[in-house]
Every structure is written in structure tokens, then in C-alpha cells.
Structure 1
Amino acid sequence: MAETQEATVVFGVLNETSETESRVALTPDIVTRLKRGGVASIIESGAGMAAEYTDEDYEKAGAKVTDRAAVLAEADALGFVDRPSAEIVASLKPGQWVIGMLGSFTDADYIAALEKAGLVGIGIEKLPRKLSSAQSMDEMTSQNSVMGYKAAITAADAYGSFLPMMTTAAGTIRPAKALVLGAGIAGLQAIGTLRRLGAVVTAYDVRPASQGEVESLGAKFLDLGLDFSKGQGEGGYARALTAEEQAQQQAAVDEKAAGFDIIITTAKVPGRKPPVLLTAAGVNGLHRGAVIVDCAASELGGNVEGSAVGEQVTEGGVKLIGAPYLASGVATTASNLLARNVADILVHFIRDGKLSQDLSEELDDALVVAGRAEEPAVKSE
């Protein structure tokens, strides 16, 4: 059995449960893992309940379960599912670390607020995904994988017929035809799940390399007759298309979409408005009872024209589901993965029992988005 080191860093997590959020940034097994590495955990009471983890589970693992004020006061670093609110930022002490998806690509004012408060901000969205040392820290990959799985389940639940072909004494039911737009982590998981449910799956992505990945899962690659040979962007993400390319893609997808029963869109561009992959004309061309699940829906819009968070039914009887919170719907698994991502980032910045930014590595330069303090706060016992 590995020897447990004396705790010198305290890691805190708050209860972020809401109407749309059931995940938690720390699970009991990660409490144990951190404890062995000399990190003590403190968590707000009730934080894990929506993900099926009780306060007793955390206490048995060795975490301190307490109220919010105590977590904020005692933690050297805090991990978040979402980023801390302005109210929480105002409650933190200079030198404390915050780890989460901080929105550093698009919200300079928020990062400036962290700087002004004297906090050290670790923005997971800036993780260099191609670094092998960063794979276990990649929250976007882990949570998008959960999202893709749940998108397929959501579509199957909303669709009014079977997904697999079924032959009965009363006749044969044809399999559902599904189209996945965006073959990144979420898209590939959606493809695999739809295939396992028995649907006939087709997919499309602007990245040329995605065709082989799609076909390896037993799906067809949608031929739009277009060539976006430079579809691969930096860091493993799909690049944003030019206006002309978007128009060409939209017209081609709109035309092809009419032959499908289920459409799932997953094309997010981090920090930017998602590209429209299916226009209103494409939606209107679908048959009554068809289902669309737009994983990119947000206040910025979605991959589907007219998409909004929540479910709506068009005049033509098409169900359009804007679903950005799908990972939260699989809270236990999503939390397990997320907690590991956040914990590995935390541990990466611990040297000689202290939080330190002085590692001089590519990963550090990318992740530290606020408060490059020379003396990060570490509790002294």
C-alpha cells in the first residue's frame, strides 16, 4: 500500500448543484488519491448528492465536509465544474488558486477580475490537448465523450419509433437513419452509441482525417461534394470555416438532411459562436417526427438555425432539442472523469509540497491565465 504523505496543500470544492448542473468536481476516490499525494480535501456539504455521492462517502474517504464559508477560507486551491461566480471571486483571498473552464478565450474582463482579486487562475480551456502529459487533464475530451453518449440516448428517447430494424409477425420496422454533424470526441461517441442502438448512422466533419474515424465505427461518411482540406485547426479542434465555406456547407447539408430521422450536431468552436450546420430550410425539409439534438446550443446560438436551450417543436412537427447540459445528465460518470481531470491539473502544479507556477513547461504557460504570483498561497500548519 502506498504511503500517505502529510498534507500541505488543501483542495476545496463547492456545491454547484443547480437546475442544469448535477456534476461535482471531486469524488471520494479522488479524495483518497489526493490524500496519498499529500493533498487534503475539503468539500461543501451536499456537493456530491446529485451525482450520487453522500457527505458520508467523502468523510470515509478522508475529506472534511463543512459549509461554504469554511471551504472558501481554508482551501489553497479550488476546483470548479463551472467557473466561480463574481460573488465567489469576491469571497476568495489573494493567492488562492481557482481551476476550471474559466472562459479565458472570450471573457477578458473575467480574467482581469481574477487578476484584480489576486487569484491564480488555471484555465482548463487552454490545455494543449496534443501534449501526452496533458491527456489525463483534458476535461473537454472527457465531458464531450459523456455528452455524445447522452445525445444519442436523448435522441432515441425523443424519437417516436425504434432505432434498430425489427422483424415481427406484424411486419418489418425499418431502422432509423441518423446523421451526426461534427465527428470530434462527442460526435464519435454519439456515432458509436447510435450504432449500438441499431440505427443506420452517417456522419460529417470538415476535417479530412475524420472520415477514417467515422468509418472505423461502422458509419458512413456523408459526401457533400466539398473539399475543406484545411479543416483541422490548432490544438485538435476543428477550425472555424470562412463565410463562403459555411454557406457551401449549409446548402449541401440542408439538401442531404431530408433523408434522415435523427440529426445530432456537435460542432463547437471553443470560445466562439458555433457554426450553423443546418439552416431553417434544412429543418423544414425534415419529415414530421424527426428529431434534432443540438449539443452546441447556447446563448450564442447553436449549430441549428433557430436553436435555443430546451425543447421545441416546429410547425412541421420536427423536435428540436437544444441540449448543452447533457454531461450533467450522466452526473456520476461525468463527475468521475471531471474530478480526475481537475485533480491531475492540481497535482501538476505541486512541487516539494507547495503550489508552484515555476515549472517552466509549455503546459504551465498555457494553463495559467491569471495571477502569475511569485509566492502562491499555501497554508502553513
Structure 2
Amino acid sequence: MSDTVQTEKEFSIEMIPEPEKIEEIIYSLMVNPNLSTINYFNDFSEQNISPESIGSSDTDETGLFDLDNNGNAMAMSTHAFHHHLESDPQKATEILISRATRKMLCFGAKPIAVSALLYHINVADPNGGLIASGAKKGLENAARKFNLQISDRKIRFDNFSEHGIVPPTIIVSMMAQVPNKKNVTTHTFKKKGNHIFLIGKTRDDINSSEYLEFFHGISDSPLPAFDIMEEIGIQKALKKLNEEKLIESASPVGKGGLFFTLLRAAIPNNLGFDITTDAETRLDAFLFGESMGRIIVGVNPGLEEEFVDAMSDLKIPFFTLGHVTKGEIRVDDESFGFIDKMTVGV
């Protein structure tokens, strides 16, 4: 967006000293409620929700629902974002839709439609119109780039002057088609010995991350690194890898960064991971940064050569991370114990 609504305070990663040890960061972030997999409605409501009424939990926050007895299914997900809607609503909206699309494509679903609701826009504030205009541009641009239909677009105007400041928030819901539920590629690691690859570029970027906000207490930073054309390339790669059945798991790097994405993939089957970080990228940015356009995939060793050839043909950057273990967590040859001690709060 050419005209920003609000000037950002300058932030640079150099303001944050690069950590020598990551153990304190890991265990501090584990108590962050934003990184918890607890279903608060199911755990604390007076009457539990019936498991039959919700989608499969093996798709990492995306519901998967049967349409018939022939294996056809539908996937649904909902995502919300409030970061920087006041400073760059177009980019923020594009990031949110890219994130939702990337997650759908990870397990082989075909995104079809997206709806967007813009909340908490103060009609008494002249910036409200600029935020709505920027969010609309972001929605339409992302839908066009990713070949999505827009099913709805609404703005809920609120004036919360008596209740303090409530940040503008955009919520998107996405629907996708799953031709055959048996061929779904879930986010979970499948077995010990599988190779782990990171698809996409690594960057010295910790902007708007849980690490920066929760561990360092800095909430005023720019949006994470994002390039919509890179997202299109990543989407093409995911489609090919799924069609040729070259991956056994796929998960977009999300909240908490690479480390917590690996944990979410390891926990369901009580597996672990042994990875080596990128020496050219800051340790905290590599493990806890939340820059866009990155996917973690698990590859059967017998298909590694075909996977590498496919990625080379696509000319998409990828990085060998390591392998799936029986349960131990290792980073750069340092052990952090086993997966059972990592499940609290994740």
C-alpha cells in the first residue's frame, strides 16, 4: 500500500542480541497461550463438544469433513490477524490469505473460496476508511493471485470509545476441496528416519513473532517478511509434491516459528527431530522467526533423490534440516530431552 495509515516505529533485528542458548527461549515460549494446542471450548465448557461434530484433528487446526462415501471431502479453516492493519492493511490481508492457502495446500486440498470480515473499524476515525480500502485491495489481489472466489466481504463498524482501544481485526474463512480423503498429507511426522526438509527462504527476520512479543516484550515491529510471488512458487511446489506423492507430511512454518512447527509435527506420534540450523541465518530468526513462505516436509529416504530432483526442476529454494527421531529433540547436536517433556503448553 503506497499510503500508510500510521507510521511504524523503527525496529531492527540488531536491537535484539543474538542468543547463545535457546533452552530458556523454548521453555519460556511453551507457556505462551498462543502456542498452546488446548481446545479451550472443549476443555472448559460446561458440556463437552461431541467429537463426531468436529473435523479431524490430524490436519493441524483445519477441519476435514466427509461429503459422501466415495472419499470426497471438504476442508475448512478460519484465521484472524490484527497486526498492522492500521499501518499496512493490504499487506496484512495478503499475508493472512496466503497463510490460509498455504496450510490447505500442505495436505493436498484445493482452496476454492475465501470470505473476509473486517472488525472493529471506528467510523469516527478517518483512518477507518483507509484501513477498509487497503484490506479490500489485499483481499482482491490475493484472491486473484491464488485463483480463489470471494464468497463474502463485510465490515463491522464499531466504536469502542468507552471500552478502550480495540485493534482492527480481519478474519478470513477458507473452503477447499479434498478429492480423496485417503490421499491427504497431514502435518504429522510419520516414522523415525524420515528426512526433514525446509522449503522456502530463510531470513534474519523476527518481526511480529511470538518470540519477539512474548519473550522480549516488543509488540511494535513491522510485518514479517512476505513476497506474494514467492508464495505462488511455493504453492506450485506443494501441488507437484503431493501429486507425485513425494512427501509424507507437510506443515507451514507458523506461530512460534520453525521450532514450534516441528514440535506440532512431532507430538501426535510421539516422535522427535534432529536438525541442523543454517549458519548464515541468526539462530533465533531461524528457529523462532515467523517470516512467510516456508514449509516443513517429511520425506521417505527412498524418495529423497526424486524429491531433490523435483525441487531442483521447480527452482524453489530448499534446505536439508535433518531427520525424524524416535523421540529425542536435538538442535545442532545439542539434546533437549525427549518429546514427552515438550508437550506442556504446545
Q: How does the TM-score come out when normalised to structure 2?
A: 0.24
Q: How does the TM-score come out when normalised to structure 1?
A: 0.22
* Structure of greater Rg: 1
Say which structure is richer in strand.
2
Greater relative contact order structure (CA < 8 Å, 6+ sep): 2
